[in-house]
Amino acid sequence: MKSTGVAATGCPLLTDLYQLTMAQGFWKSGRASLEAVFHLFFRENPFGGGFALACGLEDAVRYLEAWRFQEEDLAWLASLAGPDGRALFDPAFLEFLRNLRFECDVDAIPEGTVVFPHEPLVRVQGPILQAQLIETALLYWINFQTLIATKAARVCLAAEGTPVFEFGLRRAQGGEGALAAARAAYVGGCAGTSNVYAGRHWGLPVRGTHAHSWVMAFESELDAFLAYAEAMPHNCVLLVDTYDTLTGVQHAIEVGRRLRERGFELLGIRLDSGDLTWLSRQARRLLDEAGFSQTRIIASNDLDEYQIARLRHEGACIDAWGVGTRLVTGWEQPALGGVYKLAAVRKADGSWQPRIKVSESAAKTTTPGRLQVRRFQQGEQFVADAIYDLDQPEPEHWTIVDPADATRRKRIPDGLPGTDLLVPVFRRGRRVMELPELEAIRLRAQDQLRRLDRGVLRLTEPYSYPAGLELGLHERKLQLILAARGLTG
């Protein structure tokens, strides 16, 4: 398995400065080894949808495996000065970093799993200095790839089984972003990518046609099509809308006839502008009448899940979709908004002391404790998720409470089988999880989506999947909130 480029470096400088200033503070105050628990989670489903699709864990794992301060890292940190001109970091602290090795336990929800707001996607337990230093990097990979995998899943759901190809390299936020987006889009259901580097790096199927410039480089559209067919007879897909689309279809049919004489087939035509519903219907009619019923019609042109759903509803005759900008950028939501919050610290007697951040917004008040997520299912279908505290006895009867609205509660029927979602990834800094192949992650995502109620999968106004705090955890959280506000006893 491979990772994106920066993940393989394990460079601890992939962080925000305040992580390092806090680390020096923990070290100077003698609290560097204080055992703590952090959770990575998000508060709202992206794109106004009903779910998210966990992604990005492999890059995070590869990064943590290689995580170590190198001499050049320490030399650069030593060069930093504070506002008063003096060295920002104590030389003795930098010497401490030189010998630092990753020693945390990490548990995570596997990639390709459907997840919901407030559920910990990652739980980190270990020395607080280390757990704090890795925050930014974990968020960097999990936030972006989860966002894009979710977007891809929505686009593929709208396509209803017709293949979707990721065409977004030229519009992505940099090379690293394009590489990660291609991977995440494949996890989310895309059938391949136009990104050749991602194809080589991740082993993804690569697809592409030709540009308008190819057609414009010849004296006529027909000459351009004939030349392309000569160059690529076994992979001939023609872009027909450089001048007049339906005339382009007629030219493509002519080329298709000549290909058949040589023992090849016209694989497809691509529509990249205009009224795609009307044009695709007319193109399908022309192709069928000419005996090219197997020639596929591929559509592009700033597509997203809403456009695809509309086109399918209108009866567009489109067999495959190329989706670029609105997929790899997240378009209407540029970030997932995942956060990483302290939830407990180990006391001197070995017990865990829960910690909570209180906010005026109920949704932004954190959940204390060492958390796990249990998913209950009835038959093949997922029915509810309970977030619970590992250090408390499991309840005899499970009731969950919405973290954002305590009046919304659900009793889970007794006897339903449940599975804990967070699984061990690292123990004392050593990886214990075997990383799955990308194809297995993709298949897991498809299976997970199949197990959700179709109302949860709706593009707009989806059904809210029941995911909440176990009742006892909710009540302990409430007591901590009251105590923090001085409203107890």
| 319 — pLDDT class (breaks 50, 70, 90) | very high
Q: What is the pLDDT of residue 489?
A: 56
Residues 353 and 257 in one domain: no
- Tell me the CA distances in angstroms from 350 to 34, 346, 355, 456, one per residue in order: 11, 6, 15, 42
Two tokens at 461? Answer: 């106004």
Strand partners, 193: 166, 206
Q: Is 355 part of any domain?
A: yes
Q: What share of the chain is helix, strand, coil (3-state, %, to 5)?
A: 40, 20, 40
Going by pLDDT thresholds of 50, 70 and 90, the confidence category of residue 1 is: low
- Tokens read off for 171: 């519009």
Judge if 108 and 249 occupy the same domain: no
Domain boundary among 328, 363, 380: 328
Find the CATH number of the domain harbouring 208.
Answer: 3.20.20.70
Give yes or no: residues 291 and 379 share one domain: no
Phi-psi region of 10 (alpha: psi -120 to 50; beta: other; left: phi over 0): left
Q: pLDDT tens digit string along 158-169? A: 999 999 999 999
User: Is 489 within a domain?
Assistant: no
Q: What domain range is 36 assigned to?
A: 5-148+334-484
How large a percentage of the chain has pLDDT more than 90? 94
CATH number at residue 101: 3.20.140.10
Average pLDDT over residues 309-325: 98
Q: Can you give the pLDDT at residue 321?
A: 98
Q: Could you say which of 328, 357, 380 is where a domain stops?
A: 328
Q: What is the mean pLDDT of residues 9-35?
A: 97
pLDDT score recorded for residue 307: 98
289-302 per-position pLDDT tens digit:
999 999 999 999 89
Q: Which two tokens stand for residue 317?
A: 């005759």
Could you report the per-residue pLDDT of 64-106, keeping only the tens digit for each? 999 999 999 999 999 999 999 999 999 999 999 999 999 999 9
The whole-model pTM stands at 0.96
